[in-house]
A and B are shown apart, each in its own frame.
Chain A
Amino acid sequence: MKIQEYIDSGLLEMYVAGALTEQEMVKVTTDINESLELKQEVEKLENAFMAYAKLHAPPISAALKASILQSGRNIATTPTDVTTPPTGLNKWICGLGLLFLVASIGYNIYQYQTKQSLEQNIETVESENETFANDLEALQEKYNSNQALFAEIRQPSTKRVVLASVGKVAGAEAIVFWNTDTKNIFVDASSLPEPPEGKVYQLWWMISLDPLLPNNAGTLDGFAADDDKVFAALSTDRAVAFAITLEPEGGSESPTLEELYVLGQVS
């Protein structure tokens, strides 16, 4: 192909645009390298397109060039080969790694200690919870028994018998609640003094005062420890009077009359 025909074919325009196959590109390069005329034509075409492309370019930010040159320098100085022997940078990276390791260990120890302390706290709270639960259970029991007592006392069939002092201890007093329907007996002994060591109060009910026929209604055990000092006694369906005597621990078969504290007749 003659040079002018080559130029007129439009192949060089395609070559500058990169619009040919790889083989065609290689072929044209060879041809150009053999002909100064072709080479000059290619340069003209390139310049023409470059000038045309420039017309499409708005002004570029002034900072972009510096940024590109800086990035280029950074790439040039950054070792990319992984087999590079240790450099200052690698030492820095190792140092940093070690620093992170130490920091990590320290953090783990701190976390462990925090965890231990938290576990201890949990144990304390759990034991406190147990105590509260026990307390609550006791209170619930107390409440239930008080409710039961209250229910018993407010019954119309419940008689209230005041037991007054018979001179042994001035001002001593007790109140017996006796439900004649259920036969249940409760005694409020809160106005009695605490019994001396080795002694216990004992409640009696009498089916007759003359002749005196007392029956054991039970001992008021655990008097000192009892907060409200209300005691349930053995039930009866007939009684004309109630009395409380002080007896040796464990109670007596028959009342010790010298130690009669309070006495009250059923009205």
Chain B
Amino acid sequence: MANTKKITEEELVRLLKNKDERVLNILYEKYSLSLFGVIHRVLNDQELSEERLQECFLKIWKNADKYDAKKGRLFTWMLTIARNLAIDTTRTKRFREQGKIQNLENSVSIIEKVNSVEMNTDEIGVRDLIKKLNTKYAQIIDVIYFQGYTQSEAAKELDLPLGTVKTRTRKALTLLKDYIM
């Protein structure tokens, strides 16, 4: 596992495009928890999230040809796949019947999420981090990264100038870097 960290993104993409069977293992080790975190953040359901994560990796594997490095990072491409699968699931009957629908127009703030008993993630870690992050920074990450809003959609949604959305996201990520890295 130690050597997976040394592999460059370019090498990873080349292996993926060549359908090298080793790449699925590397991708899983490197990205599965983050992608699962995104899916689970949206669905808040272990079983459904695991199903979507499996689907996500199969999609990555099957559609490797479609990944275009010119249009973004490999992680960004995978993040989009994971997010779309999760958000599509919130629109299914099964999900709505479970009463877990999240209204994206009033996206649930991560603060509410932290205070909710439903949160079964690394609670202490997240809670401590959220306390350090100002609500507005947690919210902007939520909207841009977890919910997949474009910057213009986020500006409209949060009723903020586009410039503010960008600088606030910048500040939020800088804080994250400081706290986590």
CB contacts between A and B, total, < 8 Å: 162
Min CB gap A23→B, angstroms: 10
| Complex Cα spacing A68 to B27, Å | 11
Min CB gap A164→B, angstroms: 99
Q: Is the interface of B mostly helix, strand, loop or mixed?
A: helix
Min CB gap B176→A, angstroms: 4
Residues of B close to A55: CB separation below 8 A: 37, 121-122, 125-126, 129
Residues of A close to B38: CB separation below 8 A: 53, 56
Instruction: Give the residues from 45 to 96 in chain B that come closer than 8 angstroms, CB to CB, to chain A.
Output: 46, 50, 53-54, 57-58, 61-62, 69-73, 75-77, 79-80
Whether, in the assembled complex, A9 has its beta carbon less than 8 Å from a beta carbon of chain B, the answer is yes
Whether, in the assembled complex, B13 has its beta carbon less than 8 Å from a beta carbon of chain A, the answer is no
What is the chain B residue whose CB lies nearest that of A47? B181
Tell which of A70-78, A102-110, A149-157, A167-175 binds the partner: A70-78
Min CB gap A53→B, angstroms: 4
Given A19-B149, A44-B177, A25 and B72 touching (CB < 8 A)? Answer: yes
Whether, in the assembled complex, A16 has its beta carbon less than 8 Å from a beta carbon of chain B, the answer is yes
Residues of B close to A25: CB separation below 8 A: 71-72
What is the chain B residue whose CB lies nearest that of A52? B176
Residues of A close to B111: CB separation below 8 A: none
Contact B120 A58 (CB under 8 A): yes
22 A-B pairs (CB sep. < 8 Å): A13-B166, A13-B172, A13-B173, A14-B166, A15-B73, A17-B145, A19-B154, A44-B177, A48-B180, A49-B173, A49-B176, A53-B35, A55-B37, A55-B126, A56-B40, A57-B37, A58-B122, A68-B24, A71-B58, A72-B21, A73-B21, A75-B61
A residues within 8 Å of B by Cβ? 8-11, 13-22, 25-26, 29-30, 42, 44-58, 60-61, 64-65, 67-69, 71-73, 75-76
B residues within 8 Å of A by Cβ? 19, 21, 24-25, 28, 31-38, 40-41, 46, 50, 53-54, 57-58, 61-62, 69-73, 75-77, 79-80, 120-122, 125-126, 129, 141, 144-146, 148-151, 154, 165-170, 172-173, 176-177, 180-181
